[in-house]
């Protein structure tokens, strides 16, 4: 019985360890410059946590097997009272977790707490129940003011712009697809109309909440053309499952042509 | 004319839950069908028609596909090519309270087609069945934003049978929205009498079967506000009553 239990623990460890090693099979392709550091951190975390997990499991399996023939009254002496062993385990785990936190902090700040590269294209991202809208500043490179009393999806004024009275709004381009040029730095300014949403593009390795009343900047540079799904990563209401849009990464000429086409539709 | 009297006592301005209790009982008066009149007119628009932006349906590829590369345009603020307004709800706001009307047995039909509500403005009587269809290959969610009536919020998958609901109190207007597609909106005019009409591509309306009396006729638009005109209708008359809206109400 003890031998079977020991074998079962070992097999479970190998199975889950294998899944960790095969992690690349379930991660989507990476298409941004920040994906490298994020994936590196991801791998490092998996290795460290995986080793801790495997060590603990193998230890349990060994103890089950090695103590199987001893009487019940003697088995607890195998571990009980070993301050050296307990202290060493806690110390090793603490050092590893602190080291992981330090490296992940560096990665996090590189993505979220530093500004975008000079010349980044600024785009506003608006979340609402249950759709995404994107605003480009137009040739004047300025976003016009938003009037919440004018917001109405049914009249096509998705972001409450007053194009007649606000000169900066006149050339603003509002779309429902996020088009970006490849290999060009992009700065997104995340805003919400109603509740907390979350901008999430797994291929970019980018995920950030949108909070009503706040303007939250994030940035990225896409490295591969294609169409990718933008989803809402925060349960935001009845239609949350259906709140998605498309990220279209295009070549520079394609992007310029697309933006001109969108501007003509305003 | 089938303005039959009935025991129903739907009355304008009633509040939910006390429709029959709070209002004085009126003795229903009979309408002499040989003496009724008609009010007709045209809804004009003066000024520059508003720009109608495209509707961004990108979030639902099933909706985008229905337009074959084109985009649907906003309906609110639409102006006909002859300078008149479509989707104006014209109704008797005051007058004729001494009469009591039964709702039509035929349902008022609203369809979800092309990820839009059709028609955009619909009139129906208190107690009349509202039938809501889904002709689209995508799921819709019909949500009434009523103030005087209970709200309802029902999902409708493609191919689902029509929804059937009734409104218990008069209400001008009840907006309907789709929680799946935020651009989808339409308006229901729920009245206690059968004297209402919605203008179409010619911008005209006709209120038929009005018994003689003094009336306030109102014309409601989603974008340009509401206008009212008083008129007194005699027996067997056809009265012309036009309305003119501008760009800003």
- The DSSP code for A225 is -
Beta bridge partners of B216: B94, B230
| Pick among B145, B182, B248 to test the A interface (most A CBs inside 10 A) | B182
Q: What is the pLDDT of residue A25?
A: 60
Q: B162 is written with which tokens? A: 């029509």
- How confident is residue B23, by pLDDT bands cut at 50, 70 and 90? very low
pLDDT tens digits along B36-77: 999 999 999 999 998 899 999 999 999 999 999 899 999 999
pLDDT of residue A224 exceeding 90: yes
The answer, yes or no, to whether residue B22 has pLDDT greater than 50, is no
Query: How many angstroms separate the Cα of B40 from the Cα of each of A172, A191, B240?
Result: 43, 49, 5
CA distance A120 to chain B (A): 25
DSSP type of residue A67: T
Please tell me the predicted confidence (pLDDT) of residue A68: 78
For residue B54, give the nearest of A133, A157, A265 by CB distance.
Answer: A265
Tell me whether 0.85 is exceeded by the ipTM.
no
Q: Is A144 exposed, middle or buried (0-12, 13-18, 19+ CB in 10 A)?
A: buried
Report which DSSP code applies to A164. Answer: T
- Cα Rg, chain A, nearest whole Å: 26
Distance CA B21, CA A130 (A): 41
- Give strand pairing partners of B191: B125
CATH code, A121-265: 2.60.40.420
Q: What is the arithmetic mean of pLDDT over A184-188?
A: 97
Tens digit of each residue's pLDDT (9 = 90 or more) over B196-249: 999 999 999 999 999 999 999 999 999 999 999 999 999 999 999 999 999 765
> What pLDDT, on a 0 to 100 scale, did the predictor assign at position B213?
94
Lowest mean pLDDT among A77-81, A82-86, A108-112, A160-164: A77-81
The β-bridge relationship of strands B108-113 and B213-221 is unpaired
* Residue-averaged pLDDT of chain B: 88
Task: Tell me if A239 and B141 make a contact (CB, 8 A cut-off).
Answer: yes
Taking the complete model, does pTM exceed 0.90, yes or no?
no
Q: Are A245 and B59 in contact (CB under 8 A)?
A: yes
Indicate the angle between helix axes A35-66 and A83-112, nearest 10 degrees: 160
Domain coordinates in residue numbering, chain B: 36-246
The answer to whether residues A204 and A229 touch, using CB atoms and an 8 Å cutoff, is no
Q: What token pair was written down for B240? A: 């012309």
Compute the average pLDDT of residues B137-148: 94
Q: What is the CA radius of gyration of chain B?
A: 19
- In A, minimum Cα distance to B51 occurs at A266
CA dist., res. B54 & res. A108, Å (int): 39
Q: Give A131 to chain B, closest Cα distance, Å.
A: 7
Percent of chain B, pLDDT > 90?
78
Angle at A89 between CA A86 and CA A95, to 5 degrees: 135
The answer, yes or no, to whether residue B4 has pLDDT greater than 50, is no
pLDDT digits (tens, 9 = 90+) for A17-71: 777 666 556 688 999 999 988 888 888 888 888 888 888 888 888 888 887 777 7
pLDDT value at residue B15: 38
Query: Looking at CA atoms only, how far is residue B86 from chain A in angstroms?
Result: 15
Dihedral (C-alpha) B180, B186, B191, B197: value to the nearest 10 degrees?
Answer: -150
Task: Tell me which CATH code domain B36-246 carries.
Answer: 2.60.40.420
Q: CA of A239: which chain B residue's CA is closest?
A: B180
The count of other CB atoms within 10 Å of the CB of residue A85 is 11
pLDDT of residue B11: 38
Q: Are A118 and A182 in contact (CB under 8 A)?
A: no
Q: Which whole number is the average pLDDT over B98-116?
A: 94
Is B77 in Cβ contact with A176 (below 8 Å)? no
- Cα A10 from Cα A64, distance rounded (Å): 11
**pLDDT of the residue at A263:** 95
Taking 90 as the threshold, does the pLDDT of residue A5 lie above it? no
What is A179-205 written as a DSSP string? EEETTSEEEEEEEESSS-EEEEEGGGT
**What is the rounded CA–CA span in Å between residue B61 and residue B142?**
20
DSSP string, A103-149: HHHHHHHHHHSSPPPTTPEEEEEEEETTEEEEEE-TTTT-PPPP-GG
Report the alpha-carbon angle B205-B210-B212, nearest 5. Answer: 135
Which tokens go with B74? 């906003």
Three-state secondary structure of chain B: CCCCCCCCCCCCCCCCCCCCCCCCCCCCCCCCHHHCEEEEEEEEEECCCCCCCECCCCCCHHHHHCCCCCCCECCCCCCCCCCECCCCEEEEEECCCCCCCCCCCCCEEEEEECCEEECCEEEEECCCEEEEEECCCCCEEEEECCCCCCCCEEEECCCCCCEEEECCCCEEEEEEEECCCCCCEEEEEEECCCCEEECCCCCEEEEEEECCEEEEEEEEECCCEEEEEEEEECCCCEEECCEEEECCC
- Neighboring chain A residues of B115 at a CB cutoff of 8 Å: none
Residue A148's nearest CA partner among A190, A208, A192, A189 is A192
Strand B121-125 relative to strand B225-233, pairing: unpaired
A156 touches B at CB < 8 Å: yes
Whether A142 contacts chain B with CB within 8 A = no
pLDDT, tens digit (0-9, with 9 covering 90-100), for B114-123: 999 999 999 9
Tokens of B170: 């008069």
- Quote the crossing angle between the two packed helices A2-21 and A35-66, to the nearest 10°: 170
Tell me the C-alpha distance between A266 and B29, whole Å.
Answer: 55
């Amino acid at each position: 019985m003890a031998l079977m239990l020991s074998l079962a623990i070992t097999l479970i460890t190998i199975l889950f360890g294998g899944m960790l090693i095969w992690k690349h099979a379930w991660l989507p392709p990476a298409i941004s410059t920040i994906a490298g550091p994020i994936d590196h951190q991801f791998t490092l975390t998996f290795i460290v946590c995986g080793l801790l997990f495997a060590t603990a499991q193998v230890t349990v399996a060994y103890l089950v097997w090695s103590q199987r023939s001893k009487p019940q009254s003697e088995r607890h002496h195998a571990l009980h009272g070993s301050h050296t062993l307990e202290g060493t385990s806690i110390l090793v785990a603490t050092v590893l977790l602190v080291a992981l936190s330090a490296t992940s902090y560096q990665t996090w700040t590189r993505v979220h707490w530093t500004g975008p590269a000079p010349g980044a294209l600024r785009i506003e991202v608006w979340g609402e129940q249950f759709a995404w809208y994107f605003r480009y500043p137009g040739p004047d490179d300025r976003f016009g003011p938003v009037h919440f009393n004018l917001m109405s999806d049914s009249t096509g004024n998705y972001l409450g712009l007053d194009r007649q009275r606000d000169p900066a709004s006149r050339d603003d381009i509002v779309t429902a697809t996020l088009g970006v040029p490849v290999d060009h730095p992009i700065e997104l300014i995340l805003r919400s109309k109603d509740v907390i949403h979350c901008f999430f593009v797994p291929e970019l390795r980018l995920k950030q909440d949108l909070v009503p009343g706040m303007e939250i900047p994030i940035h990225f540079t896409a490295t591969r053309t294609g169409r990718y799904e933008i989803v809402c990563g925060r349960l935001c209401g009845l239609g949350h499952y259906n709140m998605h849009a498309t990220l279209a990464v295009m070549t520079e000429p394609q992007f310029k042509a697309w933006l001109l086409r969108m501007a003509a539709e305003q | 004319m089938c303005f039959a009297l009935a025991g129903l006592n739907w009355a304008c301005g009633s509040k939910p839950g006390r429709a029959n209790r709070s209002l004085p009982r009126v003795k229903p008066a009979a309408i002499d069908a040989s003496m009724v009149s008609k009010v007709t007119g045209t809804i004009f628009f003066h000024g520059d028609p508003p720009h109608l932006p495209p509707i961004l349906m990108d979030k639902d590829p099933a909706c985008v596909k229905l337009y074959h590369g084109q985009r649907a345009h906003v309906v609110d603020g639409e102006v006909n090519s002859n300078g008149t307004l479509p989707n104006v709800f014209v109704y008797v706001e005051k007058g004729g309270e001494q009469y009591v009307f039964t709702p039509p047995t035929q349902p008022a039909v609203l369809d979800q087609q092309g990820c839009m509500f059709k028609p955009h403005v619909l009139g129906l009587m208190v107690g009349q069945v509202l039938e809501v269809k889904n002709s689209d290959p995508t799921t819709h969610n019909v949500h009434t934003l009523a103030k005087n009536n209970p709200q309802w919020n029902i999902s409708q998958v493609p191919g689902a049978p029509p929804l059937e609901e009734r409104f218990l109190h008069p209400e001008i207007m009840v907006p309907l929205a789709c929680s799946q597609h935020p651009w989808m909106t339409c308006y229901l005019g729920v009245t206690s009498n059968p004297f209402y009409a919605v203008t179409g591509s010619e911008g005209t309306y006709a209120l038929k079967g009005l018994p003689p009396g003094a009336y306030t006729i109102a014309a409601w638009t989603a974008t340009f506000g509401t206008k009212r005109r008083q008129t007194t209708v005699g027996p067997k008359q056809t009265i012309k009553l036009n309305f003119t809206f501008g760009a800003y109400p």
